[in-house]
Amino acid sequence: MEPKTKLKTSKRQAEHIRRKVRNIRKIDGETGGSKLVQLHHAGEILELLKDERVSGDVYTFPRPFNLQSVTSWIEDHQAQARAGEGLLLFSRAPSGEIMSITDFQFWPEHSACEFGGAFAHAYQNQSLGLHGIKFMCDWVFETIGVGLIVLTTSLDNVRSQKIINHLGFTPMGEIKSVRPDGSLRRSLYWEKLK
């Protein structure tokens, strides 16, 4: 996918975004923050994604879920991070279990970012989504320095749609999102400029 709006971006600005992304190891936050997913987290991530209440609505996750697909997915994100074009981060609850995972895609040449993710089922419906997505929007605008955020949801993901509307994104119709296995998913598409 590419953003519908293509912001005019100089080579210098694009390189600045790439450099910022390459150097990210963690995001500090009020609730313990997020860290880059490493290969040794594959087993824990697999357990999280196997729960369809967590993964069912997210098109970027690597189906079918098994240790091999999740490991390749992490390796792919490590390559994206080296290129300054993607990041895969997770957060832990105070109890130690993985609480959330966030998958960032950057288009430095358009000064744009899309991200998506999921909370473990025990942490859904507590407004963590609203606060977490707002936090990540501020972070990509302020710390990475992009000028545009793109978000997409499945047609029936009412919770995400409410959050995205609350955050003032502009709805821009429907698109077909491409899953890692090449299959298509109908998605609603929103944008927000910095």
Ligand X SMILES: CC(C)(COP(=O)(O)OP(=O)(O)OC[C@H]1O[C@@H](n2cnc3c(N)ncnc32)[C@H](O)[C@@H]1OP(=O)(O)O)[C@@H](O)C(=O)NCCC(=O)NCCS
What residue ranges bind ligand X (CB under 6 A)? 54, 57-58, 116, 118-119, 124-130, 153, 157-160, 162-163, 166
99 versus 109: smaller Cβ distance to ligand X: 99
The residue number with the shortest CB distance to ligand X is: 129
Q: Which amino acid is at 193?
A: L
Closest CA to 137 of 104, 170, 161: 104
Q: 143: helix, coil or strand?
A: helix
12 versus 173: smaller Cβ distance to ligand X: 173
Please provide the DSSP assignment of 20-87 as one string: HHHT-SEE--TTS-EEE--GGGHHHHHHHHT-HHHHTT-TTS-SSPSHHHHHHHHHHHHHHHHHTSEE
User: Minimum distance from CB of 89 to ligand X (Å)?
Assistant: 14
User: Minimum distance from CB of 23 to ligand X (Å)?
Assistant: 27
User: Minimum distance from CB of 121 to ligand X (Å)?
Assistant: 8
113 versus 118: smaller Cβ distance to ligand X: 118
Q: 118: helix, coil or strand?
A: strand
16 versus 179: smaller Cβ distance to ligand X: 179
